[in-house]
Amino acid sequence: MPAKDFDLSKRFYADLGFQMPWSSEELAYLHCGNCTFLLQNFYVKELAENFMMHLSVQNVDDWWEHVREQQIAEKYNVKVTEPEERPWGMRDFVLIDPSGVLWRIAENTD
């Protein structure tokens, strides 16, 4: 995953609840539960702003409350929407990371 500011992105994901068991100057391995990804010290605006991740969780409202309590939107000047029911059978909210990557954090409602 691209990172415009690698150190800022690592802090962002730590505040979001991801663990970082390994990091170098170029890559960071992040995980939360069964979700894992590599954060890369690499940024191309067109790539980052057209990159989307989907995180399936047991309780989207708990995640949204954590994001609010951590003041993610204010601390990192990023967009966070409120959870909504979606026509594709999920309840989710949108979170855009400091590099412009769009996350959908969702739970199944079917």
What is the rounded CA–CA span in Å between residue 100 and residue 47?
9
In CATH, which superfamily holds the domain spanning 6-108?
Answer: 2,3-Dihydroxybiphenyl 1,2-Dioxygenase, domain 1 (3.10.180.10)
- Secondary structure (3-state) at 108: strand
Q: How confident is the model at residue 110 (pLDDT cuts 50, 70, 90)?
A: confident
**Claim: this prediction has a pTM higher than 0.75:** yes
pLDDT (tens digit, 9 = 90+) per residue, 17-61? Answer: 999 999 999 999 999 999 999 999 999 999 999 999 999 999 999
Backbone angles phi, psi at 86, to 5 degrees: -110, 150
